[in-house]
Amino acid sequence: MSTAAADPVLSPTTGEPVAVVARRNRLGIWLCIVSDAAGTVSLLIAYAYLWSLNVNGGWAPKKGAWAPDWLFWAIVLGMVVACALLWWGVKSVFAGHREGLVVAATLSSLLLLAMFILQIWQLATFPFDISESSYTSATFWLALSNAFHLSLGSLLVLAVVNRTRAGKIGVDNPFQSRLVAMWITWLCAAALLGAIFTTAMKDSPNTDPPAFQSFTQPHTS
């Protein structure tokens, strides 16, 4: 790093030190995270709102089969491990070891890819149909959004591997790896929120919703 400070690497397109560009990109990533978080929050709002209303008694899946919890948590666990690996690689490249990043990012991207496949498998093997109830719809979309996150995340980490090997990310220009790691950290948080919601909110608290197209409350006399 001391050599880098003395003779900063300059961006070929604008002529600025890459550290300046990196600071700019970091803000950009933060803003992307804010925006994506707003989207994830609206999915969670949808989940919680439908759970709390139980319109027409239609929250619970018709066949009574809730999605198994362990799969959500397994995916979260895998993502957290992948994220920790990537951060370890980022630390090592900032400490001057490019090889560390290559190894860590390769493992991390493989793990994320595995989680992506697991997520697709979960989507394919839910014990219910998306159109069965509002719970099934909301859960399906939480999983789908996570699948989208994972596909994007694993591609980004793969790109880090590729760029590090090509020397575009290196000891004197390590910033992009940290940006990707920040993004992956947010993806873990999003997956965690989804897992918490699907685990904690199953049976609706509203046991007495009005019936559709009538003025009757089905469960009271």
Partner 1 sequence: MSSATEVMRPEEVPQPKQYGKPGGFLRHTNIITGTVSGIVLAAIAYLVAGALRPPPSDENALALPVGLDPQFAAMYIGWTIGLLLGIGAFDGPLRWFLGHDLTHEDAEYMAGAGQGKWRYFKYTTDHKVVGKQYLVMSLVLLGVGGTLAMMIRTELGITWMEVFNPNVYNSIIGTHGMVMVIAMIIVVSGPIGNFIVPIMIGARDMAFPRLNALSFWLLFAAVPPLVSSLFLGGIRDGWSVYQPLNSQAPVGMLGYQTTIIVFAFSTGIASVNLITTIVTMRARGMTWSRVPIFVYGIIGSSVMGLIWFPMFQYSQILSWSDRVLQSNFFNPAQGGSVWLYENLFWLLGHPEVYVIVIPGTAALMELTTVFVRKPLFSYKLAIAGIFGVVGISGIVWAHHMYMTGFAPSANYPFMLSTELISIPFGFLVLVLLGTIWRGKVWTRLPMMAVYAVVWNKVVGGITGVWLSDVPVDQYMHGSMFVVAHFHFMLMGAALFSAIAAIAYWFPKMTGRYLNERIGSIGFWVAFAGFQLCFGSMFFAGLQGMPRRVLQFDNAFNLSNWLSTIGAYTIGIGTVIFLYAIITSWRGGQTAPMNPWAAQTLEWTVPNPVPLENFKVLPVVTTDPYNYGVPDPYASQVADVGDETSQKVSVS
Partner 2 sequence: MSTTQNPPPPVEEPEEPTNRPPALHRATKWLERPYARRIILISGVYVIAILAVLWFAIWVLNSSGGPASGIMAEIATTMIWLTIVASPLMGFTVATLVYSLFGWGRVGGDEPPMQENPDIRTNATAVIAWITATSLLAGFLVVWGLVELAGITAGAYGTVPANKQQGFVAPINVNVTGQQWVWTFEYPDLGKIQSDVLVLPIDRPTYFNVTSNDVVHNFWAVELGIKIDANPGAITNTGVTPNKLGTFNIRCAELCGLHHAYMETKVQVVTQDEFDSWVREMGGGKTL
Q: Which residues would be at the binding site for partner 1 (CB under 8 A)? A: 8, 10-17, 19-20, 23-24, 27-28, 31-32, 34-36, 38-39, 41-43, 45-46, 49-50, 53-59, 130-138, 140-141, 155, 158-159, 162-163, 166-168, 212
Q: From the CB of 213, what's the least distance to partner 2, in Å?
A: 5
Taking CB under 8 A as the rule, does residue 215 contact partner 2? yes
User: What does 106 bind: partner 1, partner 2, none (CB cut-off 5 to 8 Å by kind)?
Assistant: none
Task: Give how far Cα 84 sits from Cα of 68, 90, 108, 149, 154, Å.
Answer: 26, 10, 8, 17, 14
Cβ neighbours of residue 60 closer than 8 Å, sequence gap 6 or more: 54, 133, 135, 203, 204
DSSP tag of 17: B
User: What does 36 bind: partner 2, partner 1, none (CB cut-off 5 to 8 Å by kind)?
Assistant: partner 1
- Single out the segment in contact with partner 2 by CB under 8 A; choices: 37-45, 69-77, 78-86, 212-220: 212-220
Rounded to whole angstroms, the Cα distance separating 148 from 132 reads 23
Could you tell me how many residues of this chain bind partner 2 (CB under 8 A)?
A: 8
Write out the binding residues for partner 2, residues 11-70 only, by CB under 8 A: 53, 55-56
Rounded to whole angstroms, the Cα distance separating 68 from 71 reads 6
* 113 and 78 Cβ atoms separated by less than 8 Å: no
